[in-house]
Amino acid sequence: MTRNTNTSYKTNYDVLHESTSKVPIKTWTRGVPFDKNSQDQLLNLSQMPFIHKWIAAMPDVHLGKGATIGSVIPTLGAVIPAAVGVDLGCGMMAVKTTLKADDLPDNLAAMRSAIERAVPHGRSSFASRKNGGRRDKGAWGDAPTDVLEAWSPLDDAFKIMVEKFSFLKRTNNIRHLGTLGSGNHFIEVCLDQSNNVWIMLHSGSRGVGNRIGSYFIEQAKKDMERYFIQLPDKDLAYIPEGSTMFREYTLSVAWAQDFARINREVMMKRTIQAVSEVLGVPFKADIEAVNCHHNYISKENHYNENVWVTRKGAVSAQKGEMGIIPGSMGAKSFIVRGLGNEESFCSCSHGAGRVMSRTQAKKEVSLADHIKAVAGVECRKDESVIDETPSAYKPIEKVMEAQNDLVEIVHTLKQVVCVKG
């Protein structure tokens, strides 16, 4: 696609504001569902006294824990751990390969099986009862050599964290590096608009990131109680900048974000190797590589202030910056280039956004409907993945239309293989 060099664009946002709000909420939600529960949650967030300028809500916005998923929260002097969440550094990676559609076999089942063997994924019921462990099918028993090597740059900082927080010793840390997880995490083989083959995946900091996030959320809540600080929602408990806890939190989150990025890199290498073995030919796969977080904090300058930007289900879209916006399984995904729109604090959506809870999807979508929705994709087609069916999400095309002042589409991808945990 030819890059649009015209930097003037018509803004697409509306403003949500009530008398209780300290700041407005700019919402990129035209043409997509924006439920009242999400609006109320954003209005609660807007009452916090340290929000910088306004809150930005992306078109995939939906109800989350503490803060709304699909929100961009700039803050001065504090961060809200529950707004960052527990899947610290969760994000996407995609690489364009030298393969074309004709290079893929007609029967893609062997390719999906090879990827599933190469990358541990899912979670066993035994592990769920035992808080993870060596029998967790989504973890390594003994980490292989490539995982040990990838862990090396993380090891020193992890040992320092363990000295301070001994509970981290009991987490799935190295055993989760290079593993996929479950829920909406996935690995896909896709075709773009020119029939080039792409490999794309979605995962985060796994068990160790979850434990770090959960710990600081609880500590922040205890501090609010200790100092009798009243909040519109207890999940908006915050950590003030300058405190010991703030330093410990930001250092721990930075480590978890590094873990998440390396986790995606290890999985990508293993997936490329699995695809190569199935095809029986080597290929290049580092063309136009993108690796971006969408659950994270970042220190950035916006409107002449250095602020902490929490992107909870949102991607950085600085001018010229590449990003990934996936649809649901069975739907299109997009490689995008940021337009640097300051109104959104240079951000865009991280996906399509749910319109049904997982429980609702399992109640309302039949297995037959799910199979029809993912026709043509080599993927799991059983009842356990109905909560990830396309109709549980907003239409990705509408989501993209609502944010055409935030990003431009560079490549349109459609999966042919999808691995779910």
Question: Which residues have a catalytic role annotated?
Answer: 350
Distance CA(386)–CA(177), nearest Å, equals 27
**What is the distance, to the nearest Å, from the Cα of residue 52 to the centroid of all Cα atoms in its chain?**
23
Rounded Cα distance between 209 and 295, Å, is: 11
Backbone angles phi and psi of 111, in degrees to 5: -70, -45
∠ Cα 78 80 83 (to 5°): 145
Bridge partners for 307 per DSSP:
300
- How are beta strands 305-312 and 69-75 bridged, if at all? antiparallel
Q: Which amino acid is at 269?
A: K
CA atoms within 13 A on the CB side of 351: 28
Other Cβ atoms less than 10 A from the Cβ of 83: the count is 26
Could you tell me which of 222, 247, 220, 250 has the C-alpha nearest to residue 236? 220
